[in-house]
Amino acid sequence: MSIDDEIGEWRRTHYTSQLDSRLDNEHVTLMGYIASIRDHGNIVFVMLADKDGEVQLVFKRGKEVSNNSNSESISIPFFKVKSLKEHSCIAVKGKVKVSPNAPRGVEVVPEELKVLSLARSIPPFSVYSRTFPNLDLRLNLRAIDLRRYYMRAIFRIRHKVLKAIREFLDKEGFIEVNTPKIISTASEGGASLFPVFYFDREAFLAQSPQLYKEQLVTAFEKVFEIAPIFRAEPSRTNRHLAEAISVDIEEAFADYKDVMNLLERMITYTIEYIVKNANDELRIVNPMLTIPKTPFPRYTYDELIDMLRKNGYSIEWGDDLSSEHLTFLGRVINGYYFIVDWPSSIRPFYTKNNGKIAEAFDLMYNDLEISSGSSRINKKEELIERLKIQGLRVESFEYHLKVFDYGMPPHAGFGLGLERFLMTIAKLDNIRDATFYPRDIDRLIP
Ligand code: 4AD
Ligand code: MG
């Protein structure tokens, strides 16, 4: 590449989204990548895309010499234009022209061109393709896959979802915390932990910030964390990742009903924010998104067991709901709903219960679980009892249990799977498209 194709002193003057007819005849410097090329021989149309949008560049043979008095006149050799390939990174200086038929109502006639990075090969997918069936091919080239407008819209919505959640929790008086991701004991049962070497010991990747967020309510009362959780899920499904992002909250002097109300408000606040502030993105991914009505329906575990039995499913009281059961329920009950009052035997040890029924809930969307939460046990003896019943080693939890000697308030909280929530907002079938670089049993790269 010649020195002329270094960025040098050139800096962008406008994003494509800032171009409109008011800039007619103005000189602009644009940078981005090539979304598409239409070559008509003596005239070549190039769609230049940047992070916010795209604009049409019109290269004409013969008009390639610039008379711009501020800079040395540089011509754009037409062979250079002809050699451009989709996805190449370019910079242009040129003049804005009003053009009613062009996609933005304006186009740009380049006077100088820098090819900052020429694509070496034809990419396997166009930025305009909404669906591209080969998921593995896409994931292997994920960074480029994410240039597709459909994918970009999903992740811009994700950004706005996070912004809305933070804004909501901040207004509610929660503070954001971060807790260790390298830990010594399980919090959600030991089955799905990833072991890691930690100096001379074995440690694990955190399945949940559960025990730390409970500890932190002693000082802060209302905390939240948005961070990865790690689950060694051996299953291949469209809703499980080995590394996911969890939005966890914990609140002192509250029970599960309080945090269900909070969760419901957080969901509607976020969706309302997206409907108001992500128009362009929703047009691409889910134009039908509507703000759900509250309160979300609440079904007890018992009611749903009855419903399942009446419809021919055999399920014992105390069994967890299988994916088959959830599929059925999701067909009967649409949208967001809570399942409350679960058997304590199938909830984690820290869940408050009366010996049989736990003060616990799952938030569902059709057949998809998007959040779990509960009132927590705040009495040390009870917690020790539950650890024993669930076959966990009490000694391993000493560091946690001793906090309960110093006045642990009653508290409750939930964990919301960010990718799963995004699936409901952006109408995604596969959780892998709700995360930048999915990790699952078959995938550790890129
Ligand atoms: O239901 P889970 O396991 O609950 C907890 O971790 C509790 N500590 C939460 C609490 O405060 N009581 O995980 C919470 C949520 C799930 O409802 C799901 O949305 C998401 O995290 N999640 C996963 N998402 C994608 N892939 C996985 N393997 C997930 N595991 C959990
Ligand atoms: Mg759960």
Tokens of 169: 């929790």
Q: Which of 187, 344, 372, 374 is catalytic?
A: 372
Pair 424, 365: CB distance under 8 Å: yes
Instruction: Identify which of 179, 194, 208, 386 to mutate to test ligand 1's pocket (most ligand atoms within 8 A of the CB).
Output: 208
- Write the CB contacts of 34 (distance below 8 Å, at least 6 apart in sequence): 46, 47, 48, 49, 84, 85, 86, 87, 88, 90, 119
Q: How many CB atoms lie within 10 A of CB 130?
A: 12
Element (H, E) at 223: strand 222-230
**Residue 104: what pLDDT?**
80
Spell out which residues have Cβ within 5 A of ligand 2, the ion.
372
Please identify which residue in the block is written with the tokens 């769609």: 47
CA of 205 to the centre of ligand 1 (A): 14
Nearest CA to ligand 1 atom 2: 372
Per-residue pLDDT tens over the stretch 67-109:
444 443 446 899 999 999 999 999 999 999 999 988 789 999 9
**Residue 67: what pLDDT?**
47
Q: Which atom of ligand 1 is nearest to the CA of 420?
A: 19
Q: Which atom of ligand 1 is nearest to the CA of 360?
A: 12
**Residue 71: what pLDDT?**
41
Instruction: Identify which of 215, 229, 376 to mutate to test ligand 1's pocket (most ligand atoms within 8 A of the CB).
Output: 229
In the chain, the percentage of residues whose pLDDT exceeds 90 is 88
419 annotated active-site: no
Instruction: Identify which of 240, 266, 342, 420 to mutate to test ligand 1's pocket (most ligand atoms within 8 A of the CB).
Output: 420
240 annotated active-site: yes
Nearest CA to ligand 1 atom 20: 417
**Residue 103: what pLDDT?**
77
369 annotated active-site: yes
Smallest-distance ligand from the CA of 210:
1
**Cα 432 from Cα 253, distance rounded (Å):** 37
Tokens of 129: 């393709």
Q: Which atom of ligand 1 is nearest to the CA of 374?
A: 12
**Residue 189: what pLDDT?**
67
Smallest-distance ligand from the CA of 225:
1
CA of 141 to the centre of ligand 1 (A): 28
Q: Helix H segments across 96-231?
A: 135-140, 142-145, 149-171, 210-220
**Cα 31 from Cα 116, distance rounded (Å):** 9
Euclidean distance between the first and final Cα of the chain, in Å?
A: 28
The residue ranking higher by pLDDT, 63 or 28, is 28
- Write the CB contacts of 297 (distance below 8 Å, at least 6 apart in sequence): 333, 337, 338
**Residue 185: what pLDDT?**
82
Q: Region 272-281: what's the mean pLDDT?
A: 98
202 annotated active-site: no
243 annotated active-site: no
DSSP string, 295-324: SPPEEEHHHHHHHHHHTT----TTPPPPHH
In the chain, the percentage of residues whose pLDDT exceeds 70 is 96
Give the pTM: 0.95
**Cα 268 from Cα 290, distance rounded (Å):** 10
Q: Helix H segments across 298-408?
A: 301-310, 323-332, 380-389, 398-401
Per-residue pLDDT tens over the stretch 397-424:
999 999 999 999 999 999 999 999 999 9
Provide the mean pLDDT of the chain.
Answer: 94
The one-character DSSP state at 394 is G
Q: Which atom of ligand 1 is nearest to the CA of 210?
A: 8
Please name the amino acid found at residue 59.
F
Measured from CB, residues less than 6 Å from any atom of ligand 1 are: 188, 208, 210, 231, 233, 240-241, 244, 246, 248, 369-374, 413-415, 417, 419-420
For residue 251, list its beta bridge partners. 222, 412
Q: Region 287-307: what's the mean pLDDT?
A: 97
Please identify which residue in the block is written with the tokens 């020195």: 3
- Between vectors from CA 407 to CA 401 and to CA 408, what angle results, nearest 5°? 60
CA of 318 to the centre of ligand 1 (A): 20
Give the residue among 204, 161, 206, 201 at the shortest CA–CA distance from 180.
Answer: 206
420 annotated active-site: yes
**Residue 221: what pLDDT?**
98
**Cα 184 from Cα 412, distance rounded (Å):** 23
